[in-house]
Every structure is written in structure tokens, then in C-alpha cells.
Structure 1
Amino acid sequence: MKKIYTGIIVCAFPFLGFTQQQFENGGFESWENTGSPTEEPTEWSSLKTSGGGQAGVAPKVISKAPGRTGGSSIRMENESALGITANGILTNGRVFAPDFNPENGYVATISSEGKWNTPFTSRPDSLVGWYKYSPAGGDKGKVEVALHRGSTCELPEGNTPNDLVAVARFHMVGTTSNWKRFSVPFNYLNGNTPDYLLSVLTSGDSTLAVVGSVAYFDDLQLIYNLPVVTQNLVSNTYAITNTTGAAISVPYTVQGGLFSGTNEFIAELSDANGDFSDPIELGRITSSSSGTVSGTIPAQIQPGTAYRVRVRPSETVSGYTILLNDNDEDITITLTGSYIGFTGNSTSIVGEDPIDMMVYESPAATDREWKYSLTSGGPYESFDPVKVQVTESFSFANGGFYYVICESVIEGITSVSNEQAFYFGVLALPEAKNEENEFIAYQSGERIMMKVTKSADFAVYDALGRKLKSGTFSGTQTVTPKESGLYFIQFFDGQKQVTRKVIFSAN
């Protein structure tokens, strides 16, 4: 039952060597002494192998149960013995139950006995896991992990609190019938490097534990965050025009030694509100360490005062959660020329009510005209009557995709805005997933899902009539468009032809 933590990644840092360590058997898949009175998950111990006066007498409060993932988890239940409550308890140290007074029970690291200690020298960021809980009365189970120095540590904390380096603690409150994830940070008390890790899981609230409380635990994990920090920029104001962008240099820092030599660091620009849901790439470099990404803010994007930039790696690192920190300061982008965008509730490319747009012009325009086209890139036509206001509403007699621009006369020169596209008209989209329907099409994740009740030919077209995929199938079939927009799916089963329409939103 020797406790060994495995090093997953070894990295070189400028000032210290770092070995990431993880729970051994944190998923409780491996068990030892199976079928015997001392059956326990490997690398863990309970009252079954406790030291002290209750050894061999206390009820066996842990058992194997079906797992959230894999084959098994740990089940713990508070039971009654000789008029007292035996708390369900599991530890990677050793349980001590010296007498029948619950207040005298504890778990401990025993450095002099190899099977009752866990050498540990890392500094994880947080503790995560999964649990189910059925408390009796107001009982509260817990998970607690202590990183400590020295040869001995006890939980609850004994006479060695000064040896503690960090503690992560999670209390379960209320009934949780289905598996639920918990995540708690490590609270670091000092900058020391720990010598050992001691953990304890319970189904009851220490000396207040109530008979009948049942807890399940599975998939315990230590989380190590890997921040990629974007530093402050030399300038937070950038001027662009309708035809020229602005050069930008984005410095960043990252812990070295984790990314490969083929990794790329990519600088990204948020939207005008600082949101990175759909970032604009500014530039990239191939690197494994800290540096600066040189790039360009593109011409003719929406001006604003709350942009942010960030740098992200192209690679992931096994065992780490990569944290992307932006530059922490708002960026102002000014546009000389014109830019059009949706206003009010017109944030979608689909609408049956008038679509409202406005034009931003700098310097102020002396004249302007809005135009439209049925094809992206034009040729563009004048509206009838002509539309010339800063803010205009658009509606059309026929449904379909429309592409709108604004031509603004600024200082005697006609400045053509960016193009905005939207679908005007009533669309029953996405198609309802009615299982009584013979032909079904809808978006599912990053794909369009098609279902038929019998063999049928199919073809998928985009809004411009380009065929993306075709064939014959029965059951289900998928297609993954590269762009957001309107897609038409034609089905033919030999007797009838049906067309389904899906508005697809790419992530």
C-alpha cells in the first residue's frame, strides 16, 4: 500500500526544476485484497487498516461502487458501532482511531513508514473531482488535501500547523443524486516547497457525523494552470482607414520548457466590447517561449474604445489548463473613413422585421448613400427611394440574402464602407427535430445532422448554390460547413423530393 505520486511532465524553469505530480489511483480503479475484510483502493487506506484501539473492531465504512468513468468509484457510509458514529473515511496517509471517542480520531502522514506517506514537492493550483452525496440530517462530508513540510502532519490539524504549505478543502452540503464536479483552489500559506501530501475524504462532518450519510467520490485530480500572459502594449491607441491597417506588437510571457519548437503563439484582437468569442488574428510567430508577436490591426473594422488583445499558443500541454490573460488595458481603435454595423436588436443575419443599420464616419461625411446587392462584392444598386441617413432601416419584398454598403463622401472623397450581410424574410429554422418526420436536418454541435427513415439520395448546397456534399444514405449522415450561413439540404427517396433549410452557426 505504498503511496506513490507520479510525475507526468518534467520541465526546466529559469530558477527551479518543476515536476508535475498527480494522484495515484485518483479514479479508484485499482483495488487490493479483493474479497477480504481489508479490501481497499490501491494507494488509499481506511478504518479497515487503521492504527489504534479500534483496528479490527470499527465497522468497514467504505466499499467499491460503479464509477462515473471506468469501472469503479469509492462509496463511504457513516455507520453505528457500540453507540457511536463511525465516520466514512479514506486517506492516502493512515487512519488512527486510538479509542472509541470520535474526537480522538485523525489521519496522518507517517514519514518513517513508507506505506503511510506520499512524497510530494509540487505546487498545484486547484483540486477537482466528482461526488454524489446523500446526507442524513444536516451532515456535511468533505474532501481535504494538505501540502506540508516535515515528517508528520495530522488532519484535522494537530500540533504541526507551522509545517503546512497549502490546503484545499471542499465541503458537501445537501443531497446530490447525480455525479457533480467540484473544484477548489489551494490556499498557499507560504512560498515553501512541500515534502508530502496528505488527503482525507469523509462522508460525515467529523465529530458531528450522522449515521446513514452516504458519499461517493471519483476521478480526483490536481490541476496545474499554465498562464500565457499578454503584457501591456507600448500604445493603446491605433488609427486605421478603409484601406490601411495599423501595425501592432504584442509582448507575452509564458513558463518555458513546455511547448515544442513547432508551437505558434498567435496574437488575437477581441471585438469592440473586449469579447474573445470570435477573435481577429493579428499575427503569429513560431516559438516555445516568451516573446513578442508582430501583427496588423486590419483596415475597416468597427472603431471602439474597449478592445483587448491576447496571445494564445497553438499547442495544448497534457496535464495543464492553459490560461489566456489579455493585456489588461482597453485599446482604442479609430477609423478614418466609414464603417456600418447593426443597431438595436439587429444582431442576427436573419430577420423578418426591418433590419436597422448605422454608419460611422470620421471625419463627418458631407453626403452619403446606402446601396445593396444580391451577391457579395456587388455590383450594388441604389434603394428606391434613396437612403441617405446615418441610421436606416431595411426591408425587402422578397426573402433572401442581401449585402449592404454605404458610400460616404468624406473631405471630397467617396469612402466605401465594409459590407454587411443578412437574410431577410421568414425562415422556419432550424428545422424541428420531429422524429415522425421522414426527412430531418438540424445543427448539432459543429455539424449539420441529417436523418431519414429509409434510404434516400441527398445533396447539401450553400446559399450561393454551391454543392458541398451528396450521396445516398439511410439512418444518419453529417456535413461540416466551414462558414456560418444558410444551407439547403435536398432529399429524394425515389418517390418524393423534400428540401430542408438550416441556418448554421460556425464556432
Structure 2
Amino acid sequence: MREKLLFTILLSSFTIYSQQQIGNSGFEQWDNLGAPNEEPSNWNSFKTGSGSFSSFASKQIEQSTDVRPGSSGSYSSKVYSVSTFGIIANGNMTIGRINMGSATAASSENYNYSVVSDTNFSEALTQSPDSIVFWVKYTPVSSGEEARMKAAIHDDYEFRDPTDANSATHLVATAELNYPSTSGSWVRKSVPFDYSGPSTTPEFILLTFTTNKTPGGGDGNDEILIDDVELIYNSVSIQESIQKFNKVYHSYGNIFIESNDPLNGEYKIFNTSGVEVQKGSLSNVIKCNLKHGIYYLKTNSDDHQRTFKFFVN
């Protein structure tokens, strides 16, 4: 069972703004511990899946006390495959939901997806991280096998992984990695996001860890341990903002953006609770009717996304 958890980190540089992280990314909170439907809070596996074959789901995830070096936590997530009559079911952990629509592993009816109308099976993300970092210990039964991580930032749509034709038009960015055995050690992985679109409006992220890159691949008892997943926001993005926008400020019902170049694209304004309060087409002067307080202006212009803090006095 997935409970909605959202953590924000305040950083200071050119300006201060919240940076969204995935809830329970250190796997310290768990639901139904020790039961067949045990799962880390904010994450899902087969026991909370959907589809015509969901009643046949087996437990393939559990809490582990094996944590990565230097961790401040006590637990990680153990994800493992099972073999039934020679048919392999890959271990699968996601912040979306697993759909089990076919007994054939590679069927298009088997996929993970964001249920954007249900916070138990989706993860909101309105910002643009540069990369994703995670720690993993991967132990396949046979040599030469590779596990898989895929993160897809997408707009307001029930996005699927593997990506189908309908989902493809809603993709904002992807970070994907197939990786071999870690030889019994914890290894830190860092994977950059590729903002190739075609969508440019981040609303959600769908993240998946599986024991094999190929559906039905590998062996029973292949195992991955996952710990300390983190979204990385590089300071270079802030420097780009300084070069593009000289100054952003509010005065007498308007937001003024002093820029070296002509502006185009879109903007959104959020309050300190992360609630969107206004959006529209980007220009040097944005009319607004905001109460006193602190706000964040997020712009999407020339394939660059930037966030600025401003005050309404």
C-alpha cells in the first residue's frame, strides 16, 4: 500500500526554491511489514497491481537491513524474481502501478503506469531534475544478466512503461539504465535525464526498478537491493537563469522579467505550499493578483526550465 509522501529540500544560490524529491526514497517506512502484501510506503509491487492476472500476484518485495555504505537509514528494499514452472516473473518496484494483463511476460498488456487521478499510484513532479541517483546491489543467478532502472517525467496523462504509442507524445524526459551484477557490493548509479520531449510540461514521474531488462528474462531468485534514490538539480541550471534573466521582481500587480533576449514559452506561479496559482504565456511583464507572501515563478522557454523566487509586499 502506497502512502503519499513528498519531501522538499531548500537550497540557496542565486535564489532559494524547493526541490522536489520522491517520497520514502530511503525506504525507511513500510506498510504491512511481514505480510504477503508488504511494500515500502509510497512504492508498489505486484500485490497492489491491476489487470486480469492480478489475483495471481506473488510477493516479490520485502524490507532488508542490508543498507548501502554511509547510509543514515536502517533499511533498503529487496526486489526479487520468482520462477513458476519455468516461467520467470521479474521483480518489479514502481511509484506507479503494475498492470498484469497477460501470462506472457513480453505482452503489451503488462506494464507499469501512472494513475494520475490517484496519489497512491502516481508521483507528482513539476520541476526538472538534471539526473537521478540511486544505490544498488544486484545479484543475478546467472552471469551476463542486466537489471533495469527507468524514470520517465511526463505530463498529465496515464503514462506507461514500456512506453506505448499513446504515451510517447506525453513524455518530457527519460533517464534509463541497464546495469550488470555489482559483484556483491553496493554501487552508486547516476543517470542523466534526456529532455527530448516531445512534451515540455512536467507534471508526474514514473520510476521503475526491475530485476532484468528483458520481461521474463533472467532466473528465479535474481535480486536487487535499492537504497537512497535522489533527484539531482545541478547549479549550472541556476547559472543559465542568471545569464538569461537579469532580474525577476514584483511591483504594483505585475511581475517584471528583465531579460537579455526576447521571451517566449510558458510560465507557472506556485505558492510556498507548491500549489499552482497562475499560469500563462511568458512575457517581460506578467499581470497578476497575488496576496502578500513568497512565490515561485517557473518558466519554460527555449527548451530550458527555470525557477525564481519573488516576493509580493
TM-score range, shorter chain: 0.5 to 0.7
Q: CA deviation at 1:37?
A: 1.2
Q: CA deviation at 1:78?
A: 1.2
Residue of structure 1 in register with 2:46 after alignment = 47
Alignment CA distance shift 1:124-1:87 (3 Å): same
Q: Which one has a larger percent helix, Structure 1 or Structure 2?
A: 2
Match of 1:202 among 195, 210, 219: 210
Residue 120 of structure 2 aligns to a residue whose secondary structure is: helix
Separation of aligned partners in 2, 1:3 and 1:230: 33
Residue of structure 1 in register with 2:231 after alignment = 222
**Aligned partner of 1:60: which letter?**
K
Separation of aligned partners in 1, 2:193 and 2:238: 21
What does 1:467-478 align with in structure 2 at a 5 Å threshold? Answer: none
Residue of structure 1 in register with 2:8 after alignment = 7
State the Cα deviation string for residues 5-43 of structure 1 (Å, max 9, x = none).
3332388989xx964101111111110111221110000
Q: Is the 8 A contact 1:4 1:118 kept in 2?
A: no
Q: CA deviation at 1:229?
A: 8.9
**Aligned partner of 2:77: which letter?**
I
Residue 207 of structure 1 aligns to a residue whose secondary structure is: coil
Q: Is the 8 A contact 2:22 2:123 kept in 1?
A: no
State the Cα deviation string for residues 395-452 of structure 1 (Å, max 9, x = none).
xxxxxxxxxxxxxxxxxxxxxxxxxxxxxxxxxxxxxxxxxxxxxxxxxxxxxxxxxx
Q: CA deviation at 1:214?
A: 1.3
Separation of aligned partners in 2, 1:51 and 1:3: 19
What does 1:99-248 align with in structure 2 at a 5 Å threshold? Answer: 99-104=102-107, 105-137=110-142, 138-158=144-164, 159-190=166-197, 192-211=200-219, 212-227=221-236
Residue 166 of structure 1 aligns to a residue whose secondary structure is: strand
Q: Which has the higher contact order (CA 8 A, sep 6+)?
A: 2
What does 1:322-337 align with in structure 2 at a 5 Å threshold? Answer: none
Separation of aligned partners in 2, 1:122 and 1:8: 13
Match of 2:90 among 75, 87, 91: 87
Considering only CA atoms, is the larger Rg found in Structure 1 or Structure 2? 1
TM-score where L is the length of structure 1: 0.43
Residue 186 of structure 2 aligns to a residue whose secondary structure is: strand
Residue of structure 1 in register with 2:36 after alignment = 37
**Aligned partner of 2:114: which letter?**
T
State the Cα deviation string for residues 157-197 of structure 1 (Å, max 9, x = none).
12310100000112111343111111010000147131111
Separation of aligned partners in 2, 1:223 and 1:90: 21
State the Cα deviation string for residues 81-131 of structure 1 (Å, max 9, x = none).
244211100000001111211123210001122311111101001111111
Alignment CA distance shift 1:151-1:3 (3 Å): farther
Q: Among the aligned pairs, what percent are the same residue?
A: 32
**Aligned partner of 1:216: which letter?**
L
**Aligned partner of 2:203: which letter?**
D
**Aligned partner of 1:225: which letter?**
N
Q: Is the 8 A contact 2:87 2:216 kept in 1?
A: no
Alignment CA distance shift 1:113-1:230 (3 Å): closer
Alignment CA distance shift 1:254-1:192 (3 Å): closer
Q: Is the 8 A contact 2:139 2:223 kept in 1?
A: yes
Q: Is the 8 A contact 1:53 1:99 kept in 2?
A: yes
Q: Which runs of 5+ in 1 are unaligned?
A: 232-251, 258-507
Separation of aligned partners in 1, 2:55 and 2:237: 52
Residue 8 of structure 1 aligns to a residue whose secondary structure is: strand
Residue of structure 2 in register with 1:97 after alignment = 100
Q: Is the 8 A contact 2:157 2:170 kept in 1?
A: no
Residue of structure 2 in register with 1:73 after alignment = 76
- Number of aligned residue pairs: 235
Separation of aligned partners in 2, 1:135 and 1:256: 52
Q: Which one has a larger percent strand, Structure 1 or Structure 2?
A: 1
Residue of structure 1 in register with 2:270 after alignment = none
Separation of aligned partners in 2, 1:256 and 1:23: 32
Q: Is the 8 A contact 1:78 1:209 kept in 2?
A: no
Q: CA deviation at 1:148?
A: 0.1
Separation of aligned partners in 1, 2:187 and 2:202: 30
**Aligned partner of 2:230: which letter?**
Q
Residue 56 of structure 2 aligns to a residue whose secondary structure is: coil
Kindly report the root-mean-square deviation, in angstroms, between the aligned alpha carbons of the 2 structures. Answer: 2.9
- Point out 4+ residue stretches in structure 1 off by more than 6 angstroms: 10-14, 228-231, 254-257
Separation of aligned partners in 2, 1:18 and 1:165: 21
Q: Is the 8 A contact 1:143 1:170 kept in 2?
A: yes
TM-score where L is the length of structure 2: 0.68
Q: Is the 8 A contact 1:135 1:175 kept in 2?
A: no
**Aligned partner of 1:143: which letter?**
M
**Aligned partner of 1:207: which letter?**
P
